[in-house]
Each structure stands twice: as C-alpha cells, then as structure tokens.
Amino acid sequence: MAQLRPSDIALTRALCRHLRPLDIILADHVIDARNDRFSFRAAGLL
C-alpha cells in the first residue's frame, strides 16, 4: 500500500473545505506510487 503522509491528509481536508462553499464534492483523492495506490474514499477518509 502507498504510504500516507500527514501532509496528504491535510491537503485533502483543506481541498474539501475550500470546495464546499462552491457545492463541489471531492469524489476521491488517490495516491499512485509505482505499483501501489491509496484511495481516501476506500479508506473512509472522505
């Protein structure tokens, strides 16, 4: 599994927070690292 960093979580939360007033929903944030992927949606972080 791709390594998740605290800065990744902070970036995703900030993006969601800034998109909310525009009525835009972030569908997912996927980290693709070589042969590994991490989905914020699949991990329940969105």
Question: Residue 40, class by beta-carbon neighbours within 10 Å (0-12 exposed, 13-18 middle, 19+ buried)?
Answer: buried
pLDDT computed for residue 33 by the predictor: 84
First to last CA, the chain: 18
* pLDDT score of 7 more than 70: yes
Which stretches of 1-46 are assigned E, i.e. beta strand? 30-33, 36-39
Q: Residue type at 10?
A: A
Alpha carbon distances (Å) from 33 to 3, 22, 30:
8, 30, 10
pLDDT range class, residue 1, cuts 50, 70, 90: low
pLDDT computed for residue 4 by the predictor: 84
* pLDDT score of 10 more than 90: yes
* pLDDT score of 21 more than 90: yes
pTM of the model: 0.75
